[in-house]
Amino acid sequence: MVLIPNYDPWLVGLSVAIAVIASYVSFSVTGRLARSRGWTLRVWWLAGALAMGWGVWAMHFVGMLALHLGTPLGFDVVPTLLSMLPIIVGAGGAMGLLARAPAFRGRLPLAGTILGAGVGGMHYAGMAAMRMQPAIVWQPGRVVLSLLFAVLGATAALWVALHVAEASRPASRRMRQWGAALLMGAAVAGTHYLGMGAAGFAAGALCLSAGSVLQGGALAIGIAAAALLMLLGVLAAAWLHERVEAGVQHRDQALTRTREMLIERMYHDDLTGLPNRVLLLERLQRSLADAELQRRKTALLVLELKGFKMVNDWLGHEAGDQALRAIATSLRALAPEAGMVARLDGDEFAVVIDHVRDPGEVERLCRQVLAVMRQPVSAMGYPVSLQPSIGLAVSSPGGDDAETLLRNADAALQVARQQGDAGYRLFEKGMHRDARERLTLTLELREAIRTGVLQAYFQPTWDLRSGALVGAEALARWVHPQRGQISPTLFVPLAEADGLAGALGAAMLDQVLGQLRGWLAEGLDPGPVAINLSLYELRDASFIDGLRDKLEAYQVPADRLRFEITESVAMGDLQATLARLHAIVALGCGLLIDDFGTGYSSLSHLRHLPIEAIKIDQSFVRAALVNQADRDITEAIVALAKRLRLKIVAEGVETEAQARWLREIGCDVAQGFLYARPLPAAEYAERLRAARGTLGARARVPAPALQVVRAP
């Protein structure tokens, strides 16, 4: 005869629920292990082992309290508490292996065996705490089955838990985690109740621990409540730790993005996205080192866009930005695949070319860049043409570093810039000396303009038919205290290249207006004054108002001034140019086209310009008597001017034969060394006093004859 055990179904259900919840909490903690280091890892490892140990033990104890044999039952306190050790050790060992995933995959059977053994050991140690008399008779087959069930169930549960982190979506991860918890709970509960089924209780058996405090349904409820509270506390701690980690991760990601953005801005240009000077130098240094090892060369192109400042001034900075982005796109398309395009500053770009074998291939690239850059780009709907100048430097064997190569290319660029037209120059020795000289001269020019050292000289102009003195051309002259006379062909391009053209023009205008006021006050009549108007001044929004203010301040009639513009200035951005030119004419000033025939003119546009005269370039005058082509061109220009009812001024007249021929073809006014060289204002005033009578003939010569220009 044996005692037939029966169970309280509510406590059985409660025990299974505790097993599942304990498994879920334990696997939640296990997820913390893989992402923890140092003391945090040890804390979560201990928390996970205790959570599973306490939870599985609570399940076992509640399940034991659900047992009824028809005789009072109880459990010795010390053995019952010690029965918790196998599951704590087993859970700790399995979690220690699980924390090392993905290396854990190969140790899955070992971890399942350790955890299953802990579950089984806890169960049979807890059963021994009952101290039945006579002793429990065990059925070996069922004992082995219960232990095997524990190992296989634990292994399956750990396998599912291992794949929880692989789920991409949170919902999927939670489902897998609950699946692992259900498997582990089933393994624990199955082990317990299979083990209970393996126990045989003899009829009349007594529990020697029946007098212990560990007995009764109320105790089961208390143990279950304590276990659940502990498990919920661990779960809450895991949740809070996850939130803190998420916050830290979000902060780290934000810091990483900020750092990446700062690095991007440190090494790249915000407007074009191209590498900047810092990254260019780093890349160039690597290229030079590689080229040295491979016995090849590295080339560097530095490109500057002439006229970009005027685009900003005339159309606005947004238009300038659009033009720069378009230029950057074009350069990217032209650069070799292994090369690099960078923006240095403002309107300066650079192109690095690796593995150069033949400098000729680099020069071909320069020509391609020039051809593409000459094409207009769209800026705020306007076609904008920018003249590129390119400085080219090629590394020399064994020596150049990035800074040196960049300085060489920049020195070549300065020479290319001085050439005026779009072009490129290859660096040559001596260019650095020339660059320093240009820089020094530019600084001295700036100071000369500021202090009024530059002076206006006046060259008389004459009526070709009557021979009367009708005015003079005023030329900017710079007498340097150490260098002596500096030619305008040297300092005028410097002024244009370094943004001093406006200041130079303003200084000359002040001088001419001051001289006109003095001469008119003395009763002298020097005639109208035609002042060369640069593109920089024409596109200056304040120029018209400034001109009006100066005319009023000097008390000089507006009809005493005539402004000279070149063909390229007249034809560029015609709509905006026409508006400014008509505003000048509205003030009472006149307009001339200078150096006619040397630039480009659209006759359909020319007839819309409010001009009074054209000025034949001296190159045609000097060559006309020896070159039939120049002679024909000059005669065609005169004929064209007559058809357009414009007056003609010829410059550079040096011989009687030239003057006679110009008179014969119908030219109105001439100037040149044949008549007089440029004179200081005081000497020219003497000419005016001597020519009081002849100046009256000016009324019969409506063409303007007095010009202020920045060229000889």
Domain ranges of the chain: 2-247, 277-429, 440-709
pLDDT value at 200 more than 80: no
pLDDT tens, 411-457?
888 888 776 666 788 887 777 676 677 778 888 888 888 888 888 88
Calculate what percentage of the chain has a pLDDT beyond 70: 83
How does strand 132-133 pair with strand 67-68? unpaired
pLDDT of residue 439: 77
pLDDT of residue 709: 36
Long-range CB contacts (within 8 A, 24+) of 30-39: 30/95, 30/98, 30/99, 30/161, 31/164, 31/165, 31/177, 31/238, 32/238, 32/241, 32/242, 33/95, 33/98, 33/99, 34/98, 34/99, 34/101, 34/165, 35/245, 36/99
pLDDT tens, 540-580?
778 889 999 999 999 999 888 888 887 666 555 566 678 88
Q: What is the domain class of 440-709 according to CATH? A: alpha beta
- Residue labelled with tokens 């040196």: 404
pLDDT value at 658 more than 80: yes
Length of the chain counted residue by residue: 712
DSSP E strands in 534-630: the ranges are: 561-566, 590-596, 613-616
pLDDT value at 499 more than 80: no
Selected residue with higher pLDDT from 501 and 3: 501
pLDDT value at 602 more than 60: no
Average the pLDDT over 287-302 and give the result.
84
How does strand 669-671 pair with strand 469-480? unpaired
> Which residues, in sequence order, are bridge partners of residue 138?
199
pLDDT of residue 549: 92
Answer yes or no: are the C-beta atoms of 669 and 705 closer than 8 Å.
yes
Residue 208 binned pLDDT confidence (cut-offs 50, 70, 90): confident
Average the pLDDT over 660-669 and give the result.
89
- DSSP 8-state code for residue 136: P
pLDDT tens, 352-364?
888 787 777 788 8
The Cα 87–Cα 121 span in angstroms is 7
pLDDT value at 699 more than 60: no
pLDDT of residue 105: 55
How does strand 647-650 pair with strand 669-671? parallel
Residue 349 binned pLDDT confidence (cut-offs 50, 70, 90): very high
As to burial, measured by CB atoms within 10 angstroms (0-12 exposed, 13-18 middle, 19+ buried), residue 517 is middle
Cβ neighbours for 554, distance < 8 A, ≥ 6 positions apart: 513, 514, 516, 517
Which of the following CATH numbers is that of domain 277-429: 3.40.50.2300, 3.30.70.270, 3.40.50.800, 3.30.70.20? Answer: 3.30.70.270
Q: What is the mean pLDDT of the chain?
A: 78
3-state secondary structure of 429: coil
pLDDT of residue 216: 62
pLDDT of residue 706: 37
Cα within 13 Å of Cα(435), Cβ side: 18
The Cα 237–Cα 29 span in angstroms is 9
Selected residue with higher pLDDT from 521 and 359: 521
Which ranges constitute the DSSP H helices of 99-139? 108-128
User: 277-429 with 440-709: one CATH topology?
Assistant: no
pLDDT of residue 568: 63
Q: Mean pLDDT check: name the lowest of 67-81, 404-418, 453-467, 589-603.
A: 589-603
Selected residue with higher pLDDT from 195 and 349: 349
pLDDT of residue 107: 72
pLDDT of residue 123: 78
pLDDT of residue 701: 33
DSSP E strands in 427-551: the ranges are: 455-463, 469-480, 484-486, 529-532
Q: Mean pLDDT check: name the lowest of 105-109, 403-407, 694-698.
A: 694-698
